[in-house]
A and B are shown apart, each in its own frame.
Chain A
């Protein structure tokens, strides 16, 4: 089959690789119909994620059709499914608490040592995101093997476009959980740092959960325009003093809840020395923990701090005094995707949530390297790239 493979910094290629096969009884094989490039894939693209190997297939936002099932899969051939980026077993203690991203069993045992050393406990398995999280081939490919297919994938009814449901795989539940972690109450003003996909979906979710006002902070004019389109008031940190603006706009109180969806955007798994390299690089430009510090300092007394943005190592000058003295509540974590899928699918079907506004580019899987370059170089306008494996085939056979 054809697949987008990683070969090093700014070197991704569409190669011919062996088709995936069923290995374990609960596996299924999915024929991919749509797959997206995630902001966190750019960290792989920039070569910052340790434990990558040349030839690794990337991609953790994907959906498609079931074409093969293991004896213990509950899926049926022909079903359309969206697959969560977190590989969760459904039977460990964490899964029984619906803390799916804490699953003990999704990551092969030999790959669990790094996270155990770095963070104290083992990390879950993820698709297409380094060997530290399992070394599972990802979904920017024609086919993918899905472990624990009886637990993760959600079946999509016919008659609804891929583009409407694809983001159930990661960024929509991630934005939703970010808003849920902000414990929004009636009358609340919620401030969101970062208007990337997760930030935009957090804005949308916060308003659906009853936030009185949402204030969004970024510096890309197009992304701020998208936030405004969702109903947020917007602040450009290159033009405005954010603390002063927030204090004024909240009547001197501070936002009731703050959401840091900057972090390293999504699922970055960094050791501290790698983080230091990133902080020094022009790619990120700003001092990343700056958003988190600013959020904590701006937040009102007794308020809530929600952090969907990813941190992997240590951060300097964390304002713990402000957190303690103001009695803030801090909630964070990788997304428990499986927990949110039925509710979010229903909201999409009922027309309460539309995520298609985010998609700026659709292209053939064969063109994925161009998609990476564009997503990397043109962050203002290129907000989401969706890849279509069957477009490539159509073009190759001249049927397009």
Chain B
């Protein structure tokens, strides 16, 4: 017990483990021992229950996840994903591992060339400030570190995509549309 008025040293700060400078501590955030872990948060000016409800209907996710080619919802806890990567398409079944109504959804991929899992959480920010949406994604790149590099160069690295997808989710939820300069019938320019 510390002396009165003198708290002992803290063992660990309050930051999410995926922001740690220590790779082993960072790795502890990987639910299934994946090699790469990253997280991103965005604040959205809408109620948590509305954001959760939109996300929980997995068929909606392809609207703002740009690299997702298709999501087939098989049942409430299982969906089949087709995602474009640096070397063609990847497929897996996403299984819901955790579901706290209005707050948090966790998943794990099965039958996948790219082992991955993660969670997304929805927490009310300060009154009047909307909802903090945090996503954690853990994955093992197909060709290890080199594969991750290739993915980064081609802008298809999951952490980069997650950051951009969350921005698009925010745009869609706050404004009803996704900002773009590309007419639907033309190839992207920007």
The residues of A with any CB-CB pair to B shorter than 8 Å are: 21, 23-26, 53, 72, 87, 89-93, 96, 104-113, 122, 125, 131, 134-137, 147-148
Contact = CB atoms under 8 A, between A and B. Distances in A.
Nearest to A20: B183
9 contacts: A26-B177, A72-B176, A91-B174, A105-B174, A108-B181, A110-B164, A113-B160, A135-B189, A147-B179
Contact of B190 (A21, A23, A26, A110): A110
B8 to A, nearest CB: 34
B175 A134 contact: no
Contacts of A108: 178-181, 190
B175 A105 contact: yes
B76 to A, nearest CB: 29
Helix, strand, loop or mixed for chain A's interface? Answer: loop
Interface of B: 43, 45, 66, 129-130, 155, 160, 163-165, 167-168, 170-171, 174-184, 189-190
Contacts of B171: 89, 104-105, 109
Q: Which 9 A-B pairs have the closest CB atoms?
A: A135-B190, A109-B167, A24-B177, A109-B164, A89-B175, A105-B171, A108-B179, A109-B168, A91-B174
A366 to B, nearest CB: 25
Contact of B181 (A25, A72, A113, A136): A136
A23 B184 contact: yes
A112 B167 CA distance: 9
A106 B175 CA distance: 10
Given A23-B183, A125-B179, 11 more contacts: A24-B178, A72-B176, A87-B179, A91-B174, A92-B170, A104-B170, A105-B170, A110-B66, A110-B164, A112-B164, A136-B181
A91 B181 contact: no
Helix, strand, loop or mixed for chain B's interface? Answer: loop
A258 to B, nearest CB: 34
Contacts of A147: 179
Contacts of A107: 179
A137 B182 CA distance: 11
B176 A25 contact: yes
Given A91-B45, A93-B129, A131-B190, A109 B179 contact: yes
A93 B183 contact: no
B45 A92 contact: yes
A108 B172 CA distance: 11
A134 B177 contact: no
Contact of B130 (A53, A93, A136, A148): A93
Among A53, A92, A96, A110: residue with most chain B CB under 10 A = A110
Contacts of B129: 93
Contacts of A89: 171, 174-175, 179
Contact of B175 (A21, A26, A122): A26
B175 A91 contact: yes
A111 B178 CA distance: 13
A246 B175 CA distance: 49
A92 B190 CA distance: 23
A376 to B, nearest CB: 27
Contacts of A111: 190
A135 B177 contact: no
Contacts of A92: 45, 170, 174-175
B115 to A, nearest CB: 26
